[in-house]
Amino acid sequence: MEKNKFNLKIKREDIEVEARNLAEQANGDILVRCGGTLVLATCVMEKQEQESLGFFPLTVDYREKYYAAGKIKGSRYIKREGRPSDEAVCNARLIDRAIRPRFPEYLFRKVQLITTVLSWDGQNDPDTISLLAASFALSISDIPWSGPIAAVRVGRINGEFVLNPTYEERENSEIDLVFAAVSPEARRAKGEVRVNEDTVLINMIEGSFKETEEKVILEALNFSEEYLKKLIVFQKEVREKIGKEKIQIEPLPPEPSFEKEIREFLGNKFEKALFQEEKTKNMEEVHPVKSSEEGVNELKEELLSFIEEKYPEGEKESYARDFFEKEISRLIHKNIIKYKKRPDSRKLDKIRELYCEVGLLPRTHGSGLFCRGKTKALSILTLGGPGDQQLFEGMEIVGKKRFIHHYNFPPYSVGEVRPLRGPGRREIGHGMLAEKALLPLIPDFEEFPYTIRIVSEMLSSNGSTSMASVCGSSLALMDAGVPIKRSAAGIAIGLFQDKETGDYKILTDIQGPEDHYGDMDFKVAGTRKGITVLQMDVKIKGITKQIMKEALFKAQKARLEILDSMKKVLEQPRTHLSPYAPKILTIQINPEKIGEVIGPGGKVINKIIAETGVAIDVQESGLIFVTSEKEEAAKKAIVQIKDITREVKVGEVFQGKVKRILDFGAFVEILPGQEGLIHISKLAPRRVEKVEDVVKIGDMVSVKVISVDEQGRINLKLLENR
């Protein structure tokens, strides 16, 4: 079997690429290794053209395998890997967002890319390696694709940037930032490939931060640029040596006469509908992204009826649909770039009307409604005890999660009728994005030992619902009385760029058509102090550092404006929890007495739970959390635990129950779970022949503690006989 190996040293990293044609029936396959982490990437394209679906039929899958980490996980009865974890879904989306813009717009064949983690060393995260592997596989394949794409992760520890930090380093890092980039062609001199000195173009960003300033993110980009360029040049060298010749797929030739016919039919209806002066009617008449699309649908149906009458065979319908969409995009680009004219007549940096409300729902623990124009997010918070934490196990991480954010996108939010199913990739991705935005603000477990779950329901969608869920969730947290450090808000920034001239305009608070037809979706969330999450993807080749800088500071201005609006409703977290929230009481015991609280087979702790109706969580440190809807029940359980773990002192007197009788004495339960021995010699001042002559099982007796030995065994003396 032929093997082609390539190696690139970047700082402390050795990136090894191996082409062995293992998946020989795929269009392209590659193995990429960093340390002990090894990823296989494969890509396949169908041979048959399909009619345009209105979107590119690309499927990206990221697969974690337990064997990669030397683990056998799952339930007792199911050991096969099942549905991808939320983390795996987000990794698949990360790869998808980077590679999708590089496919030609006229490609109508189905393409599937799968990255499989075959080996994982616990140090090198396979997500960025998988993105590199995807770029390699597509680059050397015969699938039309204009890569390559480079990807690096950047951390910052003690003020110093770290390239591709390990998991341990990321724990101490104030930023966790992934850049994906493309670059202008590298130039050749005397047969040697050199890194192009021009700046890279960023085409995907994913980052979470601990309230980081904008300038630090720009510095991180400057730090990463050198390594991004090297990775791009390395991939080009590999492609030149082993890459297949690309399949030539020609775009459909334009039909000027047919396009003229369509334009004449539409006349000025399009532009009038898209750019009205009367704001209240703007997107009611034409809204291409389904939240208010009656006008555009009517116009489209009129056009298709007209085409069907003239061309009854239907051969022109697909062409007309595509042209219709391109015409909307052309008009929106022209008006925004040339005239600074947005579909709803807003200024480029103006946010839509804001409305906030808290405490909407009477019996929930906290709720917040955030509205930005027609985008409306209702976030509902529920508090639970430590035992309500989510347990998760994956290839990389096994542990517990005490802050959870879920995002729902029901069909009514966009005026659709469709079946209700489980969350899709988009819902999972948006939920995780908002969760990362809020996580740095959540109080530590020691300060606030509750499990926190927020569900954001999208009631109406017209752009940037994920950022609206950040705002709604922040309001819900404060309404519930969770002592978060600061409130957070999010905003989406857009871009419209002229492909010919490079002229561009940056838009604040993009809505439906600006998101759908725009060239960038730049989501930023954070507090007054700094950014907590950043996510960007583009539909063009990439953006420059200057565009990124402008977008960051426009997002900062908008974020502060939104925070001011939220502040008017609720300035800080409430000082008390909802009366319907569970109460958590804590008690610290000697860790050596944990076994006494639990009892043999859980007998003791289960008895307390059954009697009081509480939930009890015991930490290895001896810290015990008692959770109950009723405070009195929690207090009762605490008293029982105190009695069980109480350290008995010599001279104390107890009223106890005789539990067991042996030849040498009787055992009396003086406290729940604690027994002491009355030796036969201590049953009476006289000689006792049989223990049963003095006490019987079930008798209530008064006893005095006369000694406690080194092993904690309690010796008693009977004070009265029955």
**Owning domain of residue 323:** 257-339
Q: In the predicted model, is pLDDT for residue 291 greater than 50?
A: no
Strands (E) located in 1-133: 4-10, 13-19, 28-34, 37-45, 58-64, 111-119
User: Tell me: the pLDDT tens digits for 355-393?
Assistant: 999 999 999 999 999 999 999 999 999 999 999 898 877
User: Tell me: the pLDDT tens digits for 314-357?
Assistant: 667 777 778 888 888 888 999 999 999 998 889 999 999 999 99
- The number of beta carbons lying within 10 Å of the beta carbon of residue 635 is 15
User: Tell me: the pLDDT tens digits for 45-59?
Assistant: 998 877 766 678 999
pLDDT of residue 282: 45
Is 108:51 a contact under the CB 8 Å cutoff? Answer: yes
Q: Do 473 and 550 fall into the same domain?
A: yes
> What is the helix, strand, coil percentage profile of the chain, to 5?
35, 30, 35
- Structural domain contains residue 252: no
Q: In CATH, what number is assigned to the domain containing residue 457?
A: 3.30.230.70
pLDDT of residue 296: 61
Q: What are phi and psi of 451, to 5 degrees?
A: -90, 135
Q: Do 526 and 564 fall into the same domain?
A: yes
- Structural domain contains residue 345: no
Higher-scoring residue by pLDDT: 294, 483: 483
Is 395:117 a contact under the CB 8 Å cutoff? Answer: yes
Q: Do 372 and 335 fall into the same domain?
A: no
- Structural domain contains residue 250: no
Number of structural domains the chain divides into: 5
Q: Do 548 and 623 fall into the same domain?
A: no
pLDDT of residue 275: 67
Mean pLDDT of 72-80: 79
Task: Give pTM, 2 decimals.
Answer: 0.87
Q: Do 363 and 313 fall into the same domain?
A: no
Mean pLDDT of 441-462: 95
pLDDT of residue 193: 42
Last residue of a domain, one of 218, 242, 266: 242
Higher-scoring residue by pLDDT: 635, 649: 635
CA dihedral 702, 704, 709, 710 (to 10 degrees): 90
pLDDT of residue 176: 96
Strand partners, 34: 15, 37
Percent of the chain with pLDDT over 90: 61
Q: Do 323 and 403 fall into the same domain?
A: no
> Rounded to the nearest 5 degrees, what angle is found at the Cα of 460, between the Cα atoms of 457 and 463?
105
Q: In which band, very low, low, confident or very high, does the pLDDT at 294 lie, cut at 50, 70 and 90?
A: low
Answer left, alpha or beta for residue 184, where phi above 0 means left and psi between -120 and 50 means alpha: beta
Q: In CATH, what number is assigned to the domain containing residue 592?
A: 3.30.1370.10
Q: In the predicted model, is pLDDT for residue 283 greater than 80?
A: no
Q: Do 261 and 359 fall into the same domain?
A: no
- Structural domain contains residue 577: no
Mean pLDDT of 626-631: 92
User: Tell me: the pLDDT tens digits for 517-561?
Assistant: 999 999 999 999 999 999 999 999 999 999 999 999 999 999 999
User: Tell me: the pLDDT tens digits for 252-273?
Assistant: 777 888 888 888 777 777 776 6
Q: In the predicted model, is pLDDT for residue 651 greater than 90?
A: no
Q: What whole-number distance in Å separates Cα of residue 537 and Cα of residue 94?
A: 9
pLDDT of residue 606: 93
407-443 as b/e: b if 16+ CB within 10 A: bbbeeebbeeeeeeeebeeebbbbbbbbbbbbebbbb
Instruction: Please give the structure tokens belonging to residue 115.
Output: 């990255």
